[in-house]
């Protein structure tokens, strides 16, 4: 291995990359596929649904700014791990890592399967996509993205920026097309906005459900806690990225929903499985093929970034002695190769064993549990260390509001559809103790694994990172 350049994770990403990174994390395939959840729980009241989208943007801003305090206070990759370790102990920090290991691999598996489905769908216009070619393509795409991620940050950077520009361009095209239809002033296009609040008003329970649907579409703002260690000047870069990306996403989401409602009736939106494709068939039939391509592009960029960011906590935990030393290694491109390999391997198993994909739906609510714990940690820091000098302190009501939202995301699924799978999820989280107690608490060493680490270092041409100058 060439030792002319230091092998370590470097602070190479600036404002533009950070903004693009945040945009990709927030804008997923949902805005193309199923924005109907807010409209359904708003009782098809157009005015209320648009107000919900705007309100959810404010709520998303509060939770993102809370995560920004953690990222700025601990400007390293995997900041939330350090935060939980400091305020709740190493056991809780390890369980968070254990959960994110399975959740991260499940997420990349789901994204790869969706990417494969929308890539193949144009070749099967009159039937569903067969499982075998879909799984084979999903595995191929997952490993291709894993290899690209292992090649270092340069490949990730240009692919991410190109895909984010393309994604925003397609959404802008949908938005501008809707504006043109409105300007033309045809009765069928404007009548839904002339009396936007005339439809039945939703009751409080439905309104809360609509808020949760919209809030989920804005999720992803906490991503800087995973890659803060690779940002230049994180104390100033993170707030600038947030205040650029979130207002942009809010405007785009509102305009896209207005465009959908301009071309389609509320009932047509609710009956569609992929609203963007239905919109294209109605508005621009000759360009309808663009929508599956747009969804595939969106999912490819999300898959790329998911593998990139999810590998960082694995690398960090190995540095802290909570995972084997093997995962604290970098290749010649300063990429945590073994962490990426572990993530891609677990994701491949999840693709092959589709029953695991079903379990992912129930694991998602654990993100809200960990978010609640992080917000409690912020409040505890205010109480325990009131005079602590930190670069950025979030406005105190923001973590309280985030706790309320996340509590709803945890409680409502349990009340609406109680299921034994939630018990399995809890057991999965606690199963991390089977590894933590003997291997970390009692520091039992496995001689055979240490020998295997040496062989794998030679096989993959990886080494321990150089000491950082920070």
Quote the DSSP letter at residue 464. P
Q: Which of 239, 207, 214, 222 is nearest to 368 (CA)?
A: 222
Break the chain down into helix, strand, coil percent, rounded to 5: 75, 0, 25
Over residues 444-453, the pLDDT tens digits come to 877 777 788 8
Q: How confident is the model at residue 469 (pLDDT cuts 50, 70, 90)?
A: low
Query: Which residue has better confidence, 199 or 342?
Result: 342
Contact 24, 206 (CB under 8 A): no
Over residues 311-370, the pLDDT tens digits come to 888 888 888 888 888 888 888 888 899 999 999 999 998 888 764 445 555 666 778 888
Q: How confident is the model at residue 287 (pLDDT cuts 50, 70, 90)?
A: confident
Strands (DSSP E) along 6-140, which ranges? none
Over residues 242-253, the pLDDT tens digits come to 999 999 999 999
CB within 8 Å of 246: residues ≥ 6 apart: 22, 26, 57, 60, 61, 64, 218, 221
> What is the structure's pLDDT at 342?
92
Over residues 227-241, the pLDDT tens digits come to 888 898 898 999 999
> What is the structure's pLDDT at 458?
85
> What is the structure's pLDDT at 4?
55
Please determine, for residue 274, whether its predicted confidence score (pLDDT) is greater than 90.
Answer: no
Q: How confident is the model at residue 406 (pLDDT cuts 50, 70, 90)?
A: confident
> What is the structure's pLDDT at 24?
86
Q: How confident is the model at residue 5 (pLDDT cuts 50, 70, 90)?
A: low
> What is the structure's pLDDT at 34?
61
> What is the structure's pLDDT at 269?
86
The pTM of this model reads 0.86
Q: Encoding tokens for residue 421?
A: 């799978």
As a whole number of angstroms, the distance between CA 422 and CA 408 comes to 16
As a whole number of angstroms, the distance between CA 59 and CA 66 comes to 11
Please determine, for residue 64, whether its predicted confidence score (pLDDT) is greater than 90.
Answer: yes
Q: What domains sit in the chain, N to C, each tagged with a CATH number?
A: 15-463 (1.20.1740.10)
Contact 71, 233 (CB under 8 A): no
Over residues 292-315, the pLDDT tens digits come to 777 787 788 888 888 988 888 888
């Amino acid at each position: 291995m060439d030792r002319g350049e230091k092998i370590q994770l470097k602070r190479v990403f600036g404002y533009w990359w950070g903004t693009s990174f945040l945009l990709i994390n927030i804008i997923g395939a949902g805005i193309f596929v199923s924005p109907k959840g807010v409209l359904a729980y708003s009782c098809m009241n157009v005015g209320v649904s648009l107000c919900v989208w705007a309100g959810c943007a404010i709520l998303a801003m509060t939770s993102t700014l809370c995560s920004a305090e953690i990222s700025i206070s601990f400007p390293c990759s995997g900041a939330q791990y350090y935060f939980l370790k400091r305020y709740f102990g190493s056991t809780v920090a390890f369980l968070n890592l254990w959960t994110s290991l399975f959740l991260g691999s499940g997420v990349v598996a789901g994204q790869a399967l969706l990417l494969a489905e929308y890539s193949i769908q144009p070749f099967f216009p009159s039937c569903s996509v067969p499982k075998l070619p879909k799984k084979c393509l999903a595995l191929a795409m997952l490993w291709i993205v894993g290899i690209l991620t292992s090649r270092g940050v340069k490949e990730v950077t240009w692919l991410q920026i190109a895909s984010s520009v393309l994604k925003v361009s397609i959404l802008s095209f949908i938005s501008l097309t809707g504006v043109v239809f409105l300007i033309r002033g045809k009765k069928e296009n404007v009548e839904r906005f002339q009396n936007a609040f005339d439809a039945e008003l939703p009751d409080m329970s439905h309104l809360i459900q609509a808020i949760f649907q919209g809030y989920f579409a804005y999720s992803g703002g906490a991503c800087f806690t995973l890659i803060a260690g690779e940002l230049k000047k994180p104390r100033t870069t993170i707030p600038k990225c947030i205040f650029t990306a979130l207002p942009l996403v809010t405007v785009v989401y509102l305009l896209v929903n207005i465009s959908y409602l301009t071309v389609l009736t509320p009932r047509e939106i609710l009956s569609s499985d992929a609203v963007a494709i239905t919109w294209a068939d109605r508005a621009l039939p000759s360009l309808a093929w663009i929508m599956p391509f747009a969804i595939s592009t969106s999912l490819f960029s999300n898959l790329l970034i998911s593998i990139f960011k999810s590998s960082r906590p694995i690398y960090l935990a190995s540095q802290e002695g909570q995972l084997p030393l093997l995962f604290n290694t970098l290749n010649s491109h300063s990429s945590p190769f073994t962490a990426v390999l572990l993530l891609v391997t677990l994701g491949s198993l999840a693709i092959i064993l589709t029953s695991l994909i079903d379990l992912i739906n129930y694991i998602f609510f654990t993100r809200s549990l960990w978010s609640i714990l992080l917000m409690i940690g912020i409040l505890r820091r205010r109480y325990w260390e009131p005079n602590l000098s930190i670069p950025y302190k979030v406005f105190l009501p923001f973590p309280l509001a985030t706790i309320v939202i996340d509590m709803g995301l945890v409680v409502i699924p349990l009340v609406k559809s109680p299921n034994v799978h939630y018990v399995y999820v809890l057991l999965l989280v606690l199963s991390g103790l089977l590894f933590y107690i003997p291997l970390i608490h009692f520091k039992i060493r496995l001689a055979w694994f240490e020998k295997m680490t040496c062989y794998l270092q030679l096989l993959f041409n990886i080494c321990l990172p150089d000491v950082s100058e920070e």
